[in-house]
Structure 1
Amino acid sequence: MHIHYLSEENTVLNHFLAQIREATIQKDSMRFRKNIERIGEVMAYELSKTLEYETINIQTPLGIKKTTQISDKIVLCSILRAGLSLHTGFMNIFDAADNGFVSAYRHHPNNDDEFVIKVEYQAAPDLEDKSLILIDPMLATGQSIVAVLEKLNAEEKPKRIDIAVAIAAPEGVQYLQESLPENVHLWVASLDEKLNEKNYIIPGLGDAGDLAYGIKL
């Protein structure tokens, strides 16, 4: 798996990352969603440099201009519900992309810290020979991403798979490296220190879905 750590360079991305972590700022849910969206826009721009392009001619009012445009057929797919704001950022950049949505959550059958990933709702377009960008703001254990990719890959095979996460734990990155093919690209806005005993990212930022959309039952 190819891994891209985007926060290693000093860019405005780190400014947005700092604001989604800051406990006083993140209390403003609208601002939190907007910052996640802006992180998605920056990540989409960086990812766009690695896509395939074709040469085209553009007719201007005064002549012809040769330029390039993306030739990949892109499908953006986010994991509900936390992925929606990050998805919007990617959609702002890849405005011609098709879009898909999958629900995945931690199910605690014994009401303790042990959990299994349940993937239920899925609404996705045809993925055959497409460029799939799977979007999820938090990469903790990595189990949700692997479970969703297994479901999406069951019948249709994209030609390229990119995974975009805002914040990742080393354990999750390692799990993806062990579970996914070599040709998958992982884009990480920021790599954190570790997972705690409950498999939450430290220092992390809390529950991204709750911060963006309110506390769930």
Structure 2
Amino acid sequence: MIKPAARFCRIPVAPPQVLWRKPPVLALAAVPGTALGRLGEPSTASPAAWVAAGAAVRKLHDAPLPPWPGQSLDEIASRLDGECEWLVTNGVLPADLVTRNRRVAEAALRPWTPVFTHGDLRLTHVFVDGGEVTGVIDWSEANRGDALYDLAILTLGHEERLGDVVAGYGADVDLDVIRAWWSLRSLVAVRWLIENDFDTFSPGCEVDVLRARL
């Protein structure tokens, strides 16, 4: 795993143990426990594990901001528009599916108070054992960002677990904005996934997430 060492040292929540460091390379110990789940597959993790994941995310968001910035709203909106155009022009997805989700995604494109975000908090990056979080990996996208983006990526494709995560997070959140991030993330991810030989059309994956918004 390769990361900027300075960023790794600032991680405030459950980083894996560093075995040795020779910037920009880190050797990391194996994380105990199992991944919270996988996109497209039912999660076998307990509700308590999902609650614990929400609490860990809240601890991260309460930490001091990192010095490096994240993407601006204009950059995110520009990428979203470009990906939507590509999806329709190339006939990858029906125009009505893209248009509907682009409209839903608009709710995410609003000013937010930046927090320390993981930036790519997929299920496979959060490890749990019973009802405890044992580690969080792959911090390469960590930056100043929207708290609800982290919560959205954590629950992408597992909407039924959102209540547990929010309960662990322990704060009022705008569920419509989380759903907007589900649409936005899925729209911008489809092309990269296809080009890298991932099946985004598999049951429960990004295209199904988009269809669920219809």
**What range is the shorter-chain TM-score in?**
under 0.3
Structure whose residues are more often strand by fraction: 1
Structure with the greater relative contact order (CA < 8 A, sep ≥ 6): 1 or 2?
A: 2
TM-score, normalisation: structure 2: 0.28
TM-score, structure 1 length as denominator? 0.27
Which structure has the larger Rg? 1
Larger proportion of helix:
2
